[in-house]
Structure 1
């Protein structure tokens, strides 16, 4: 995927999706016309490479920026899954089939196939599932999603033998095990979301909407259940060529993060409504989005600590029947990172992968006898005995993170290091929690603390640690503690030996991913931003277009609200630089349906119909309230900022330009501006607003530029 992104960084900007015929009717001509159709892969060349058994990286280079035709997908998937030369396991087996539910489920999903192929495909899928249950001695679970996993295989016309081999490989190499309520994959995903976007994670936690409630159908079917079939097949082709089973977690992460603004605006929605909204996101992906979608997922994967892969690969993606330890992962405060990974970062500052800014949370006397180079000492005792000093130290650290780790383009992430003793580290957890409450991203905790660090370094302690004093250090580390390595057991010892080869493969992939990480950071950051923006705009455009409920709609600049006023006979627009002695501003309550709706200020002011916006303060009853005045082609919109939600506001009012009777400014205070709106017909309603506008000169120019032409057009 690194090659894929680099190839596209210098290309002209193209839309993230290639609309189908239905989309072309709904989207504007500008949206449809700005896209470039991607070329097809040379089918002869691709088939030749597949038949020759070329390396997957070679085949991937042929497919960069191109569309893979469905007739080539079957052989491509077989190669990626390593089943090209697998024998026919299912053979002539014909039953018996114990459950009628299997055929019923298969018939439901094949409705997505052409009618002429449905019956045969349903029978093949039924036989594959039944044979798998027979050979593995398991009962068919109706909610397993297996029929959905088989649907793409049937779509590309695999025969029954290849279908079974691919199905078996997908189950054990790419679909996470324990996809059930309170399952291990959902605890892991929450930690990944917390790592990259703690604000969004906290919001969903507050709503009590936990990952398993929307993630379960996505993971167990590799998004087939939630995407159009053609989109799912295109995504599988890119996904399987990456050979990274954890990539599905980052695909989901990309969806949520790019829809964050809309999710956060759903403050008034209940849990079920929010769940319905989130569940609908994958359905908006098109085949043209896949390159952006997978590239962003790869980017986030490279910006994530890699040690979790080694810890949980054996229990999530392997043929072993290891039993995961839920208490280990579900009780983690933040994403755990191995000491070995932190050390690699410290030793090689110019190397690949995530670089850590280590926050050493041991007491000063322990820190002074040996610490990692460049680490920041934050004494946990200050939290209890000197809160003021702790706040000062925390502000210094936050300032450092805002300049480095808090910047999306930065590669330095914050990792907290404790002593490794449970009693002492409970204060470290309190410190970590305080930083998470500030919504600081990229926060992790070194597993095992300094005790584990001491054990891993062994005879390299004096070469790696600064100010290392062996005598004093040994005083803090008892021999009893040193003799017992700190590990987090995710599987039993007997089961862990069964998946050694799988874990080694995971480590190998992890190292390759780290090596590609630097390329992402150095040359792809701007390209990733563009891809993310395209995907975000597509999601938000669909969400706004389909959010039609009267009570649950969200404001956007294109909404036409309130009464349409006819032109007044008098001069409806004038700017008077006069001394307005009427300090009493009467604000009539608006009957607009969107009054008091919450919006994201940044997204709202970037709407396609917004001409210009001005931050200001509304003056009323002796109080000053931060607000925004927004011009569109036909309306003037007033937003009032929320004191408890940074970056959000509520719609105060929307008025047609035709209703604007007068704008006045005081001679002595030209930055204090009064708006007067009048009604029509028999209505004599007069609505006044008074604002302090710091950039009043630019504001006047905007009025002349945007509003006078509208008024002149109305008069004509």
Structure 2
């Protein structure tokens, strides 16, 4: 038995001898044991004050920087752009210490030198709000030599403080998606109050809670943090705080400042004795989360190369829910081996797979445990979709109870990987999120990525030498002649093929004639090629308050020459004191609809649409509230957008895919032009604003806008309130 093993065995006797693990720790430090053994000895324990400096040095030693970065290289020139502010903050810091006056002078000099040197070596300016002074507080309490103090400070900032903790930063988007995954109701509540994660987590993230908790609690927390060595732990510590305070937070509905005050007070209540339970809960939440995000975003948050931050930000800012990689999905299905030993050890989640592709694609090949839920049913056959959802939930419950291979609490949805079709998959996911279903994830790249990963695994294992005409091992009922991915792959290899595919296997728009098989199975291609009647049925479901299957004509089929069928709005055609326009909320039971004279459908961003910064518009003083949504066009395409409501206008900011943070104003409507707002009882998130004017007792609709708004009820209530206020003001002035 080696010395390190002896020390680890001694540490395991903690329950019978409280001092044994400390003896083991002393011996391990003297023998320079491995980090693995050191972590085993210190696991779940608070390190004694006398040994904390040594233990932290070992735990942080792998990231303390090269000698070239050391403080001994500082040239003693204090010439930062805001050097005076740094010196002032250092003085304030030192004045709070209990040290002797002579010690304070030395500490002040060391702190200013340390921070100045760090800024110069990193080519950055000092920011008073970056949390550095708070990070230095626990480190100064260790009474380290200034060179060691710099090494610890350097290591913590480089390895444990995430980048982009500002509004619209990668860290904040990831935290929101994690909150949405574990507690969708609370996430929706905070979103509705316009409380972005940076408003309450930024201090926590930038200081590892040192800015918000007492010193003894922070020291115990950092013991656990460095022993575990997981930089993402801060995300789950923050999750535990807000989720455990859910009831208290939601009790302050409508009180944004009170909510923020309540959240800010949470870390202040922590004591050193609470740390073990606090961290254990955080580790549990981490274990109950798909681990794809760690591999995908570690570089952007904690790595040295930040060149991909823009792309990571784009992906996360537009993510509907937590992304799950194809590799993690296939590992959970035992179709791929874990890429690393740590992944194999941490793999504890079981997914319930939901394949949302059209039926013909599913029947041409699918994963063996996947439940089929055709996303097209949501619009074309809502009643059948409702039945399918109930069957899905029942099947999930039964498979979990039976401990079958298909069972899992974590719902993972995937589509074809083709952008047009997957717009409806996103609507299905939004359907579940709106109902506050926990553990909802979406597979990146869809079935196309699944197919390619299985083929790539066979090539890597030497089973085949090329990806052409390979039968992907692991798929059920795979038919290469009908499989879209196989069809695309074949067309790529053909020198006469008109269409190409991108790296994800998603077919790009062909310039010539494309594969006939692809055309036959492309849902949206078929929808566009069908008669106007089919197109009107799709439009009718999204726009009009007529039940599916009714024989009533759609707005476009109503004749303007026949006012009895299309010219009147039932019981709502008259103005109130000749001031307010007609306003009503329709549902599936109401069969009346006003005349529709035209549509100004805007399928793509037009050059004349104003380009704006989203953040500046959201902060405009006249914006009462904003709602994340999708603007839905007649073709079925849905564009990620923001719906903004002011006292006089309704705006939609359509996000620009290749310019994160910017949008075009796709909708600019006066509230007074709203004649009607319609929605579906079964899918209230689909709302339509109809605009027009009144001619006598006749309501003439001249235009409309359609949206999928998760908080549709709140949005409609707010519009209605503004219309009422505007009407009251007009009446008072008349």
If the length of structure 1 is used for normalisation, what is the TM-score?
A: 0.59
Aligned equivalent of 1:302, options 269, 274, 287: 287
- Tell me by how many angstroms 1:399 deviates: 3.1
Q: Distance in 1 between matches of 2:505 and 2:306?
A: 21
Contact 1:223 1:232 in 2 (8 A): yes
Contact 1:112 1:229 in 2 (8 A): no
Answer yes or no: is 1:137 the counterpart of 2:123: yes
Q: Greater relative contact order (Cα 8 A, min sep 6): structure 1 or 2?
A: 1
Q: Deviations over 1:401-446 (max 9, x none)?
A: 4567899xx9531100100011000000000000001111110000
Question: Would you say the 8 A contact 2:172–2:197 is kept in 1?
Answer: yes
Alpha-carbon distance between aligned partners in 1 of 2:395 and 2:500, rounded to the nearest angstrom = 34
- Residue 676 of structure 2 corresponds to none
SS of structure 1 residue aligned to 2:134: helix
Deviation sequence 1:123-175 (CA, Å, 0-9, x none): 32221110111222222122211111122111111211111112222112110
* Structure 1 contact 413–442 (Cα < 8 Å) conserved: yes
Match of 1:329 among 316, 320, 332: 316
Q: Does 1:473 align with 2:473?
A: no
C-alpha distance in 1 between matches for 2:142 and 2:398: 50
Distance in 2, matches of 1:149 and 1:432, equals: 40
User: Residues 247-396 of structure 1: matches in 2 within 5 Å?
Assistant: 247-268=233-254, 270-325=255-310, 326-347=313-334, 352-396=347-391
* 1:148–1:221 Cα contact (<8 Å) kept: yes
Relative distance call for 1:421 and 1:305 in structure 2 (3 A) is same
44, 47, 61: which one aligns with 1:68: 47
Q: 1:40 to 1:280 in 2, by over 3 A?
A: farther
Q: Does 1:452 align with 2:449?
A: yes
CA RMSD between the two structures: 3.3
Please state whether the residue corresponding to 1:359 is helix, strand or coil: strand
Q: Is the 8 A contact 1:41 1:63 kept in 2?
A: no
Number of the residue aligned with 1:436: 433
Q: Is the 8 A contact 1:366 1:476 kept in 2?
A: no
Deviates more, 1:292-301 or 1:106-115: 106-115
Match of 2:504 in 1: 486
Hey, what's the Cα distance between the residues in 2 that align with 1:335 and 1:121?
45
1:479-518 to structure 2, matched below 5 A, reads 479=489, 480=492, 483-486=501-504
Matched, 1:417 2:396: no
CA distance in 1, matches of 2:12, 2:267: 25
| Cα separation, 2, equivalents of 1:427 and 1:202 | 21
Q: Take 1:341 and 1:471, find their aligned partners in 2: how far apart are those partners?
A: 28
The whole-number CA distance in structure 2 between the counterparts of 1:465 and 1:232 is 50
- For 1:97, the equivalent position in structure 2 comes to 78
Q: Rate the CA distance shift 1:276–1:455 in 2: closer, same or farther, 3 A.
A: same
1:75-112 CA-to-partner distances (Å, cap 9, x unmatched) read: 21111112579648111635221202222223334455
1:301: how far off?
A: 0.8
Instruction: Quote the residue 1:114 is aligned against.
Output: 98
Q: Sort the Cα spacing of 1:449 and 1:348 in 2 relative to 1 into closer, same or farther, 3 A.
A: closer
* 3-state SS of 2:412 partner: strand
In 2: Cα distance, 1:56 partner to 1:299 partner: 23
Distance 1:8 1:349 in 2: 37
- The structural deviation recorded for 1:67 is 3.1
CA contact (8 A) 2:326 2:450 kept: yes
User: CA separation in 2, counterparts of 1:271 and 1:423?
Assistant: 38
Structure-2 change in CA distance of 1:130 and 1:363 (3 Å): same
CA contact (8 A) 1:80 1:241 kept: yes
- Aligned counterparts of 1:210 and 1:377: Cα–Cα separation in 2: 35
- Aligned equivalents of 1:122 and 1:202: distance in 2? 46
Indicate how the Cα distance of structure 1 residues 244 and 65 shifts in structure 2: closer, same or farther if over 3 A, else same. closer
What TM-score results when the alignment is normalised by the length of structure 2? 0.58
Q: Secondary structure at the residue paired with 1:225?
A: coil
Within 5 A, what are the aligned runs for 1:544-559? none
* Per-residue Cα deviation, 1:309-347 (whole angstroms, up to 9, x for no partner): 111111110222425122211110000111111000011
Match for residue 176 of structure 2?
190
Shift in CA distance, 170/231, structure 1 to aligned 2, threshold 3 Å: same
Structure 1 runs not aligned, ≥5 long: 1-6, 13-36, 489-643, 645-716
User: SS in structure 2 opposite 1:414?
Assistant: strand
1:81 to 29, 36, 60: 60
Does structure 2 conserve the Cα–Cα contact (< 8 Å) formed by 1:113 and 1:155? no
Q: How does 1:643-654 map to 2 (within 5 A)?
A: none
Consecutive unaligned residues in structure 2, runs of 5 or more: 1-9, 338-343, 459-470, 493-498, 507-712, 714-734
Give the C-alpha shift of residue 71 in structure 1: 2.1
Select which of 165, 181, 200 maps to 2:167: 181
Query: CA contact under 8 A between 2:455 and 2:472: conserved in structure 1?
Result: no
| CA–CA separation in structure 2 for the residues paired with 1:442 and 1:107 | 48
Task: Give the superposition deviation at 1:64.
Answer: 4.0
> Between Structure 1 and Structure 2, how many residues are aligned?
457
Distance 2:17 2:218 in 1: 18
Q: 1:10 to 1:186 in 2, by over 3 A?
A: farther
- Residue deviations 1:277-325 (CA, integer Å, cap 9, x gap): 1011011111111111111111111111111111111111022242512
Secondary structure at the counterpart of residue 396 of structure 1: helix
Cα distance in 1 for partners of 2:260, 2:423 equals 34
Secondary structure at the counterpart of residue 478 of structure 2: coil
Q: Tell me what 2:466 maps to.
A: none
Equivalents in 1 of 2:113, 2:58: separation in Å?
23
Q: In structure 2, do the counterparts of structure 1 residues 337 and 406 end up closer, same or farther at CA, with 3 Å as the change threshold?
A: farther
Q: Aligned partners of 2:305, 2:20: CA distance in 1, in Å?
A: 38
SS state of the match for residue 82, structure 1?
helix
* d(CA) in 2 for partners of 1:55, 1:81: 13
